[in-house]
Structure 1
Amino acid sequence: MIQSKNKLMLWMAAGIVLLSGLVHVLQRVYHVFVGHHVSMHGEQASASPLALNVFLAAPIVLLIAGLYLYVARGKDHPWIPACLVLALTMGSMSIIAGGGGGVEFHFSIFMVVAFVAYYENTRLVLLMTALFAIQHLAGFFWFPELVFGVKSYSFLMLAVHAIFLLLTSGATTLQIISKRRITGVLEQQKEAKQHEAAQLLARVQTLSDQLGQSSVTVSERSRQTIGMNAEMSRSFHEVASGIGAQTTSIMNIEGSLQRIHERISSTADASQAIIGLANQTSLSIRSSEQGMGALAEQIGAAREEMRSVEGQISTLHDAIRQVERILVTVREVADQTNLIALNAAIEAARAGEQGKSFGVVASEIRKLAERSHEATEAVQTILSSIEQASNASVERSAASRQVIEQAVTRTTEAVEDFRQMSQDLAAMLQSVQELGSSIAQIDEASLHISEEAGQITGVTQEGAAAVEQLVQLSEAQMHAYEEVNTEIVRLHELSASLHEQFGPSGSDAR
């Protein structure tokens, strides 16, 4: 600020010096102002050239001193305002002296007062006023021709000059003081506003930092949740794949069990046919000895039927082996499902509150796997009993075949063995009845196994549907978290923008 004022005041002082030189040239060389200025109430007189030259040189010297300080010592040197005020004051005195002391040239005093007021410094105004007062007093008592252009001057007019000079300087001083007071109040208000603005910017910056930190934390948590949801979704896909494989295996078991049931039913029918044939054979033996040939043929037919029964029992035994292998597969699928469900429960527990619902579903899936495992154990028990009965049937079938072979041999040897053959036939009939009873039990057990397999299929299908729903829900939740994460990223960008606008660098820039 002071540098700009010094620069302008240098130009004003230079203008005053030029104006002083012009007045001196016009008056002292060309006598332009002789007889044209207003009378000073006295006889006009001319000042000595030496005194006029001193007044002409003084403002020039002071202007040169101020210019030297401005250029060599710095534009804000503290002595520059005093030098320029002295140059303006001495320039006005030089104009008055060079113009012959006319009252018209005394108006330059007010011009100097206006120039000096630009500094808004009461000391400089007092310095200027004191110098003009000394000028007028010296002019009144000792050098009236330099100040008033006459040999003697009226004290009344001197007092008028003094009063107007004091009033002008006093009014200027009061204006400067009032302006300082008003400026001080405005500066205080400005500082208060700046302090409030700084506090507001600090709060905005703090909030922006907190918002940025919170958005970073929430974004990190959101990314972790998205990753956990993705892992849970993969786990659910694995569970769904395992349940699908289990469902396929159980459906295959169910079909196999249905085929076993059909074979067992046909075996039961065959056993009933054998019982009928045995009864017919017994009736033939008791009816007549003449029917021995026919009995031999019937026994041969019975032997073929027994071979067929043995083949069917062997087929049943192979089917039971196949069912056992299928049950092993079902048990492995159930164990795998239980393990997958346990992994899903662990992943759900890691997810915290968001994974509680997934943990419940995983627990239900684990229960379904346990039920499947229990059902397979029950089926294994039933198949073990069927296998035992089948082995017994095979043994009894072998015994019956031996009996039939003996009966055939004895019918060819003699009638005497006929009674023994009848007893063997009775034994065979009892064995066939026991075989029929065993086959009936196997038929009932196979029907029960088929029903259990149907229930297992229904349960696994329900579990597969539930897992599919969980997969869809997990994917929807993951999409929702991705949208939330996108909004959090936008919030973080907004926080960064606020920090750039209201941060320390932004506030300094404003």
Structure 2
Amino acid sequence: MWNKWTLSKKIMASVGLILILTLVGMAYNLWTLDRMTSQYEQMISNDVMKMKAADDLALGMVRQAYGVRGYVLVQDDERKQQITQGGEEKKAAIESLIELADNESERKEFEALLEYATGYDELATQAITAIDSKDQEAIDRLTLRLMPDVTKSIASTGDALQTETEEKMFAMQTELQEASQRAFWYSVVIAVVSFILTMGAGYAISHMVTAPLRFLAKEVDVVAEGDLTREDLQALTQDEIGQLMTGFNRMKGNLRELIDRVTQNAQEITAQSEELYASTEEMASQTEETTRLIDRIVEETVAQAKEATGTSQAVAAADEGIGRIAGSIGSIDDDVSQSLMLAEEGGATMAQAKDEVLALERETRLTGESISALKQQSDEIALITEVIQSITDQTNLLALNAAIEAARAGEQGKGFAVVAEEVRKLAEQSKQSATQIAGLIESIQAQSNAVLDQHVVSAKRVETNTLLLERATRAFEQIVSQLETSVDNTSHIRIASHEIAETTKQVATSSLQMSQDSEGMADTMRTVGETADAQLAMIQELNGVAESLGNMTSDLQTLIGKFTT
């Protein structure tokens, strides 16, 4: 089965096997590292939460202990609240430890710790009762003997928990480092094995490819030397090397058969080329005699054709001149007709432009009247604005007098003073508005004066354009009259030139026919002569080819003699 595979399949199979082994090893290392990392992360998470819970437990114990001592000194609600808060924090921390317990023994240990904490809460409650009742003996017994013992027990349990957690974390870290080292060495082993397998596969593939190719190269050198008698190569595989050997065997067989056939054909061609050379020599002599006779006939025919051509050329020149005259007259007629049409269109356009300019003159006159009316109205508005400003000044003065009178009236004139002040403000606003209106009116008057001046200039230009258009209209009418006369004259000339051209064409046709007949005969004889010359050249070339063919067959037989079949 291996011998039937192609080289590409063999190479892909070898490389694929190496890649599979490498990937399996790498996957195992990755799986091991991922598993250890997950375990380490889970342990870190639980242990950190345990250490936090232990810290919360210690904080609750401290808060509760300080609360009891503070309550001994100061009996207030804040110390009671501190004792209660410390107990709740302590209880919550122990419950968290119970949930994070790794095994049953650890859970039982945390549950026992919860009982200690509950007992401590009861002792704290008894201490509060003793403090409230002023029972000093009970206070000393609780705060100096019982409660410190429970606190030490709980604190020792928390310290042991932290110590145990730190030891577990260190052990897991050590195990993770060992696993990392194992994975590293596994990777090194896999890399070494992959390198060895790759080198082995490369050597095997190189041996499978280069050895047959070297053997095949030697056989090719033997064939290149001309030896075709050696036995065919034995293809032991069906890959590309085997296919190459089979193709080489077919090529050598085809080459042997080809050389045998070429040898036979070369011998036959040599005999036939000798016969062809003798035949072409005889045909060449006969063709040379025929060519000399044809050259004499061509010379006589060419002389006759030259005489007929001279007459035809003279008549053709006259016909061409008359044709150019007729064409020029026709072009002049067309140009004059087109000029007449354009002049008529230009006259109509000028008339239309004149009407438009007259309409523009009327509109310009109306626009000037409107601008004059607008200027007059602006002047009237300016007068009205001056009156308004005068009224506002008087109103302002009256409001000032009213304010003075109101001030003299004292309390009774306060309302009147307010009204006078409002009237004065309105007068000031009216004065400002009138001033703005006056400014706008001055701007409008300036623009109206500028527009009016421009309108006067435009009116003068419109009047000038009207006079120019009237002159242009009269000029176009004269041009149209002269062009109509030119059209009639060119029509008569064109008819006469056409009659002369027809008569000249008849004479030219007769002369041209005579010349063409003579030239046709000369061309025919010249073609026959060229054909004879070409035939003679071909016979001479064929003679040379026959001689070259004989030489080539001799050379071919010499080359074929180098091969041994």
Shared topology, TM-score over 0.5?
no
Q: How high is the TM-score relative to the length of structure 2?
A: 0.29
Q: How high is the TM-score relative to the length of structure 1?
A: 0.32
Q: Greater relative contact order (Cα 8 A, min sep 6): structure 1 or 2? A: 2
